[in-house]
Amino acid sequence: MGTLHYGNGMLSASIPDWVLAHLKVVATTKLRRNESFTVSWRHPDHTAGGRSTLWMQPSIPLLFEFDSPEPVTLDPDYLHALANAANSAGGMSIDWPDEASVAARSLAA
């Protein structure tokens, strides 16, 4: 599980490395072009709150911290979907299963 740090210590969000790696590519591409966008996600069931949305823009500090030292293999289809979403009025929405769902699926397999 990686961490997205946003702002001057204002926010830290735990996001799986594979999702964070894709978010990093799309975000850095858009921010390098001076394009702002939103990114939203649902909070895991065991945490407070329902969802968060960030306004991503070039002047706000951003750090992608990965748990694994090895880079993630990127999925071109997922990158394309995130980039298209980031370019839309609704913004980018990232989604991943919580750990309990992953564990339950692993046990059922």
- What lies within 8 Å, CB to CB, of 1 at 6+ separation is 14, 15, 16, 17, 67
* Rounded (5°) CA angle 84-86-91: 120
Residue ranges per structural domain of the chain = 2-108
**Does pLDDT of 105 surpass 70?**
no
User: Against a cut of 0.75, is the pTM above it?
Assistant: yes
**Does pLDDT of 11 surpass 70?**
yes
**CB contact at 8 A, 12 and 5:** yes
- What lies within 8 Å, CB to CB, of 19 at 6+ separation is 94, 96
pLDDT tens profile 30-78: 999 999 999 998 876 666 668 889 999 999 999 999 999 999 899 999 9
**Does pLDDT of 12 surpass 60?**
yes
User: What's the average model confidence in pLDDT over 12-16?
Assistant: 88
Q: Write down the pLDDT at residue 61.
A: 92
Cα separations (Å) of 105 from 97, 99, 109?
10, 10, 6
pLDDT tens profile 73-102: 999 999 999 999 999 999 999 887 654 443
> Which of residues 103 and 71 earns the better pLDDT score?
71
